A and B are shown apart, each in its own frame.
Chain A
Amino acid sequence: MATEFTDEADLELGELDQDGAIAEAVGNVWGDSRADFLRKAALGSGVLLGGLSAAASPAHAKVGKTDKSILNYALVLEYLQADFYSEAERLKTLKGETASQARTVGAHERSHVKALRGVLGRDAVKRPSFNFRGVTESTGAFRRTAVALEDLSVAAYAGQAPRIESKPYLVAALGILSVEARHASWIRRIAGREPAARAFDEPRPKSEVLKLVRATRFISSGARTTSKKRPRYTG
């Protein structure tokens, strides 16, 4: 799938993370702030995550270190997707059903970001800066990238599900996994691809997913550009 992802999305396999922007953005998901995690005591009440009501969430539960790491990892992927869809919508690149899909799905991803930030509170990883390198500026590139990102998101959530320690978070993650898969099926059909290519969706471990994300070079420390010219990556 790695080959399919990069080829189909017209992405370049750039050098990895020259200036440490990626490391900074995703550093927290590797549990660098262990001390911070352990200091936290209570999960805020009234927090919504996916379909869970505030009443159902354990109001004073400690969020385990593993779960926080997983939720922050999910948050990075959701930031990426949300900003991708938001930018395409802002640029008014798309038309017809692709535009509808982007509007609906973008709203979902933004809602995922909000929910995950709500649960993580001060422990939420900061939103990275993104440079989508032109893929939001043409319909073909948008579709290919959307397929890749949605499929990747499915693989990422499936990879983490068995590691989640707290049941309510597992329930929420499965509810999001399910919707990411709907997204994938939908955009695949729009792009003329098989909505459901196989009977079992391959999970991917975090290291592999983040490697693929780094390879897109979408996460940057610099300002976003919307020009058609490919920006020079000065690192």
Chain B
Amino acid sequence: MFGDPVTEDRAVVTGLTRGRLFGRAALLGGALFGGAIAVGAVPSPAASAPSAEQDEQTLKYLLELEDLQAAFYEQALKQGKLEGELREFARVVGGHEREHVAYLRKALGEGAGKAASFDFGDATSNSEAFLENAVALEETGLGAYTGAAPNLTAKTLRDAATIVSVEARHTAWARDLAGKNPAPRPTDKPTSEADARAAVEKTGFVKSA
């Protein structure tokens, strides 16, 4: 797999077109996210050996996903419509995502771009929609980290590995809350950057600046 000359779409995200805001029904379909991730995804093969420059590109990509997750939970808490354990989940997990954002921004320094702007529609105020989207966003983030991590330098990988497991904990927790099997497979598949970006784009959450 790492010997294969797989070309990867490295389209820059800043120019994302404003996605259609999906109605609740479409979001609850789940197939969008499930489909994007379940494709026999090969993790993005590195164009070259691990390097600081490549780490920067990878961390920038991961930061976009963390920004999205952090904003999702922040919005959910702000709107105050979640109750009980769902609210606790949003509080705890949102706090972690904020810490991940802080870590990535610190690691990137000047290289960290501004966060995109987001519009979550009713996905943060409706419990069912919130949970379905939390599951999807966490699965996407987890797949992205496990897909990207093998390309990192050892030092950065050390840190990334400590985040991978936390995203996995989030994912399992969200799935458990949603009545789904928290751990459906004996091992988790990595997601390519192209597939992760496609999953994000389909949510319609990211607005152009």
Question: A-side interface residues toward B, CB under 8 Å?
Answer: 50-52, 56, 104-105, 107-108, 111-112, 115, 154, 157-158, 161-162, 167-168, 170-172, 174-186, 189, 194-196, 198-203
Contacts and interface: CB of A to CB of B under 8 A. Distances in A.
Given A199-B100, A200-B162, A179 B169 contact: no
Contacts of B190: 51, 171, 174-175
A120 B189 CA distance: 21
B166 A179 contact: no
B188 A178 contact: yes
Contacts of A195: 169-170, 172-173, 176
A174 to B, nearest CB: 5
B164 interface: yes
Contact of B1 (A168, A175, A202): A168
Contacts of A202: 162
Interface residues on B, range: 35 or more
A115 B186 CA distance: 10
Given A175-B188, A199-B95, A181 B161 contact: no
B161 A203 contact: yes
Interface string B169-208: 1111100100001110111111000000000000000000
A73 B66 CA distance: 32
B165 to A, nearest CB: 4
Given A158-B161, A199-B96, A200-B163, A175 B146 contact: yes
B92 A194 contact: yes
B125 to A, nearest CB: 23
Contact of A56 (B1, B146, B149): B1
Interface of B: 1-2, 42-43, 92-93, 95-96, 99-100, 103, 142, 146, 149-150, 154-155, 157-159, 161-173, 176, 181-183, 185-190
A120 B115 CA distance: 45
Contacts of A175: 146, 187-190
Contacts of B188: 51, 175, 178-179, 182
Given A162-B157, A167-B2, A171-B43, A182 B189 contact: no
16 contacts: A50-B186, A51-B187, A52-B1, A107-B186, A111-B186, A158-B162, A161-B161, A177-B161, A178-B146, A178-B164, A179-B185, A185-B171, A186-B182, A195-B176, A199-B100, A200-B166
Given A171-B43, A179-B185, A182-B168, A196 B93 contact: yes
A172 B169 contact: no
Nearest to A201: B165
A202 B159 CA distance: 9
Contacts of A111: 186
Nearest to B183: A182
B157 A161 contact: yes
Contacts of A198: 96, 166
Contacts of B99: 199-200
A171 to B, nearest CB: 5
Contacts of B1: 52, 56, 168, 171
Nearest to A97: B176
Contacts of B176: 185-186, 189, 195
Contacts of B157: 161-162
A212 to B, nearest CB: 17
Contact of A183 (B92, B96, B158, B183): B183
Contacts of A178: 142, 146, 164-165, 167-168, 187-188
Contact of A174 (B155, B164, B173): B164
Contacts of A189: 173, 176
